Structure 1
Amino acid sequence: MVDVTRTFTVATPPRDVQEYLADFANAREWDPGTVLCAPLGTGPVGVGSRWRNVSKIAGAETELTYELTRLEPGRVVFVGRNDTATSTDDISLAPADGPGTTITYHATIEFQGAAKLAAPLAKVVFEKVGSDTEKSLTRILGATV
């Protein structure tokens, strides 16, 4: 299993951050590995909404179906699945000491079958992805002073 956590502060208020992050289609803008992220279905975003996500990480392309499994004030959780992995993105939001939002982004990836052998290398790769994601979200949602 790979486990990566980042905590950082952005200038945007929590409610706006949550609205932005809850629509996983926006991952194209902030997730450095995402090549495509398209909604599966129509209607407003809410628990049960799903997206087809294609990512390219360390030269390998993979596709997962993500589902919004939890959406409540201060919390957004997505679970992505395919035949070889389950990825959980658990995002907590809190008002910052000054203006803005403190984001704690916790990602876990559980590999199945032979893919488990890749976990040690994947940890190194996903630590870099975590840092790049933090940089992207800070750029998009505004750096704090």
Structure 2
Amino acid sequence: MSAFHEEIDVDRSPGDVWAYLSDPSHLPEWQASAVSVEQLDEGPFGLGSRIRVTRHVGRREIPMTMEVTEFEPPHTWGMRGIDGPVRGSVHGEVVPLADDRTRVTMDLDFEGRGIGKVLLPLVVRPQLRKELSHNERLLKKRLEHTAA
């Protein structure tokens, strides 16, 4: 069971939703803590790709390297952190609904290492709890009002 489970229904086709979510450069557009994203590998984004996401955590900007562990277009993706004191993991799904609508589900969890064991309950999880509903609204707005 994940620490956080989120679902959001959007008035957009599954193909458009997948195109948006599978492009990591969009993260700062809908995740409040994401400052920037850089793909670390050449070639198309997919299974095994690595990205560096710089996030606001507490009062600091912290770069985190993530690796794509699951990538099954146009339905499922997964990523896990491979460095840093707090390592996140995410599993996401794009589910077609009636009338060309889409449900996005995301499961997030975290592992703390070293100082991350302290940061996780004191900073990371509380910040994420506050941020998740805001992120959902941003994602819905982006998907419904922006061309993919």
Greater relative contact order (CA < 8 Å, ≥ 6 in sequence): 1
Matches within 5 A, 1:1-145: 3-72=3-72, 73-121=74-122, 122-142=124-144
- Would you say the 8 A contact 2:86–2:120 is kept in 1? no
Q: TM (normalized to structure 2)?
A: 0.86
- Would you say the 8 A contact 1:22–1:68 is kept in 2? no
Determine what percentage of the aligned residue pairs are the same residue.
27
- 2: CA distance between counterparts of 1:118 and 1:83? 12
- 2: CA distance between counterparts of 1:118 and 1:52? 20
RMSD: 1.8
Give the partner amino acid of 2:127: V
Q: TM (normalized to structure 1)?
A: 0.87
Deviations 1:22-77 (A, max 9, x none): 22122121111111101112211211111111011332221111122111142111
- 2: CA distance between counterparts of 1:115 and 1:68? 22
Runs of 4+ in 1 over 6 A off after TM superposition: none
Structure 2: runs of 5+ lacking an equivalent: none
- 2: CA distance between counterparts of 1:98 and 1:124? 36
- 1: CA distance between counterparts of 2:100 and 2:18? 15
Give the partner amino acid of 2:103: T
